[in-house]
Structure 1
Amino acid sequence: MSIMCHDDETGNTHCHAFIQPIDQKGHLNASFFTDGKENGRSRYSRLQDSYAEVMCSLGLQRGMKGSKARHKDIKKFYTELNQAIENVPIPQKGELATDYYERFQEQLETLSAAYLKKGLERERAADEWVTRKINDYKKQIHLEHQNQKQLLEQNLRTLSLQVIESRTHYQEAEHKIQETSAMYQQLIDNKEQELSALTNQLQEIQDLILNYENEYRTMNVADFLALLKEDTPIYQSLAAIDPESTQLLSTFQDRFQNHLQQAEPEPDQRF
């Protein structure tokens, strides 16, 4: 809106500029130029960079980026300036200009060295501050990295234990399946052996019956019953094949004998 030049202060010529902050949308918006970031950089810092680029031809240098230094109070600045002026040596009576110049030059060099020392101390302090901040940031990153590493290692150990436990359960289940399969196979084998033995016994009985069929086909009832007594070969053969068959044979004898008594057959009756 306006620019005013101030030239009333010796060695401190400067300007005051009044600027109306209008953003890209045509709105009055000062925070658009000072707050937030643009392309990862602070907008206010970008303004300071652009100002330094324009003023570098006049010997001005940009201040330290991110510095926490504060501007010196104007009253304190003028006090120090007046003290420096008071320390300027006064020409002595009868002193030559060349001698005064040399003495003044020595005093100026002393003051310059003192200010240079203060400047170096401020730069050293700023460097130390930056170094501390960098070290703190590194420690923070290292601590976060260690925490993440410990968390990942803990999760890895937990997963490893779960895998081992699952593998153990699987092996136990597989072992039980094998034991059950072996037990059922043994049971099947035993039943097959029993069935085979019964089949063989049945076949032997059938063969025995066939062997005696023709021989005793015309035998009368009394002789047949006598043949089935305990001391006969057929009874002993059946007992050797299956002991339980003798009980069936005795039951058969009793029932057949009762049937004969009820029917009262002839002694020489054939069957």
Structure 2
Amino acid sequence: MAKDNNTKYSASQEDSMKSKVEIKQPLPQNQEKISRLVGSVFIGMGILLVAFGIFSFIKFREEPLLDPELEAPAAASVTSITNDETIVVKGEAKGYDSIFVYVNEEKVGEAKVGDDAKYSFEYTVEEQGEYSIAVAGVKGFPNRYISPMSESKISVVDYTSPDKDTVTIKYGPETNKDTFILIGTTEADATIEVKRGTESFEGLADKEGKFRIEGITLDEGKNVFSVYITDLAGNQVLLDEKVRITYSASGDVNGDAVIDEDIPQAAGTFDEIFGNQLMMLFGIIALLAFSTSSTFVYLKNRK
């Protein structure tokens, strides 16, 4: 009886397990062929896409072909002179994808052209000197074409400060006026700054290096100013020599405390010349009055 029960239990357990296991039937032969064919097609397309990508990348990286008919973009803005290590090139390149930047006729980099047709590129220099900057426009894919180079512009990198030994300044050490004039020479186109505390007075040297700064205000008593020279590149130097002037409103020193024999006021003779001219004017008026009265008396007596 026990044996029959065990046999029944095993059969029941087997049926339960079969109901839980899904038995898959093999695919029909034609359907399996179709699956393999579709898979092969996708694999082939993937290989072709990879091959095209590699080809396009290699083709794009090649130097573009020169098209003389293309109009060269302009390097509208190039750092003209600086004491920095970076030259900035900016401009517009409408119709181009990118631009090549050339320094001294050698390609140094590439910049993308934005949707607004503008581009910007920074070139880092290794030493001071003059650099010739030009650009060319590039467009096309995968075949790329390049325009002729633009007209070059010169950028000067200068790390050298003005030479203090070549700077000359002239002024009078005493004055009875509340302002004075400073004249002198330095390198061409430099900026001269006369400074005392928060007060600052500036002048610009001409092409020959001559400068003249007027209206520098003074306080009663002794005044001390520092002089700074800054070149076009931005290099600045502080002169060792200070400007020292004594201002006394009750003093008898003529002029604006500047030494320049070509300028009467600066030489301290302005008041004397003005006085002499005034006396001469009065003398001429007196002479004319005497001549007129004498002529009138003479004509009256003849009548």
Alignment TM-score > 0.5, same fold: no
Larger Rg, first or second structure (1 or 2): 1
Q: Which has the higher contact order (CA 8 A, sep 6+)?
A: 2
What range is the shorter-chain TM-score in? under 0.3
TM-score normalised over the length of structure 2 = 0.22
Normalising by structure 1, we get a TM-score of 0.24
Greater helix fraction, Structure 1 or Structure 2: 1
